[in-house]
Amino acid sequence: MKMNPFLLIIAASFTIYSLLWMMIYRIGTTPKPKPPNLLQTPIETTTPEQRARGESSFIMAKEQVYGASRGGFFTLVLFGYAAIAAACAIVVFIFFRL
């Protein structure tokens, strides 16, 4: 069975793209320790009314989240698949319309 080179390129593009995003997702979801200065620094949340009464309030930073959310990450992946599919459709339209 002879495989069409164009279909082979499309399959390779989707496979490589999928593997790269899986590696990026795996690297991005590994737990990272929080810097100690973020966990120990109090943040002042005193309102002007509290300050006028001589009160003050502080909170401790419990968690700092960096990076894209899970939904945002997978939205980027889906847009990438759509871009690859659009590029393949353009190639088919331009080169195979004869």
In a domain? residue 97 = yes
Rounded to the nearest 10 degrees, what angle do helices 5-28 and 70-95 cross at? Answer: 170
Residue 67 has pLDDT above 70, yes or no: no
**pLDDT of res. 30:** 65
DSSP the chain: -PPPHHHHHHHHHHHHHHHHHHHHHHHHTS--PPPHHHHH-EEE---HHHHHTT---EEE------S--HHHHHHHHHHHHHHHHHHHHHHHHHHS--
Q: With 70 as the cut, is the pLDDT of residue 63 above it?
A: no
Domain containing 91: what range? Answer: 1-19+63-98
- Total structural domains in the chain? 1
pLDDT at 82: 92
Query: For residue 71, is it within any domain?
Result: yes
Q: Is residue 47 part of a domain?
A: no
Percent of the chain whose pLDDT exceeds 70: 74
Specify if 31 maps to a domain: no
What is the reported pLDDT for 66? 62
